Chains A and B, each alone.
Chain A
């Protein structure tokens, strides 16, 4: 399978614990995005990387959230001191940006986080 993969698929954690999610994009895709989706809502943009550089962060990304893409390939999203409001589906997408014109983003299956 050459699509976007995310691990774990499900995570249950207690409030106050730290969690880390991993995203493996489609090979050679230079852009990687993180989104968050709560029940009944469309996905909301969190941050994106072009290669290893994090170029934009949403206001939704509080200081408890940090994302990395150290070698321009896989990415991790860490949430520190989780809160119940962090319960959501965390989606990763990747794309190949070459020139002008927006590019299609391909999504992974998501990681569903439940904070108890």
Chain B
């Protein structure tokens, strides 16, 4: 799986948008960009994923550059409960018969602190 680069920490004011960048310059054509977050002392939580197009769900938006070498996770209206470590992960998918584990390879992520 390709490696990702994220800033170690970021701050955001409550109610404002939080934009978390991720570089994945060696991403392959069949690799997806996944975002997870981990609130203190809890298990990681899936947020969103994408391949080429921008994606949006009830939690966040994911913007992937046209060359797919970087992406940005956007939390449109950050709350104090969004304070967490955010992980950007790239991973390939496999057909079930291919047996690939699709394990998640976590880096150190970005520690986002939302301030009141």
Contact = CB atoms under 8 A, between A and B. Distances in A.
Interface of A: 4, 31, 33, 35, 40-45, 48, 50, 55-56, 91, 93, 95, 97-110
Q: Is the interface of A mostly helix, strand, loop or mixed?
A: loop
A102 B93 contact: yes
Interface residues of B, number: 26
Given A48-B101, A97-B96, A102-B93, A42 B43 contact: no
Given A99-B95, A100-B95, A109 B104 contact: no
Given A45-B103, A48-B101, A56-B101, A107 B44 contact: yes
7 contacts: A35-B104, A50-B96, A93-B104, A100-B93, A101-B32, A102-B102, A105-B104
A107 B36 CA distance: 10
Interface stretch (B20-28, B71-79, B106-114): B106-114
Given A45-B103, A100-B94, A107-B45, 19 more contacts: A31-B102, A35-B104, A42-B109, A43-B106, A44-B106, A45-B101, A48-B103, A50-B99, A56-B101, A91-B43, A95-B102, A99-B95, A102-B92, A102-B102, A104-B34, A104-B46, A105-B46, A105-B104, A110-B43
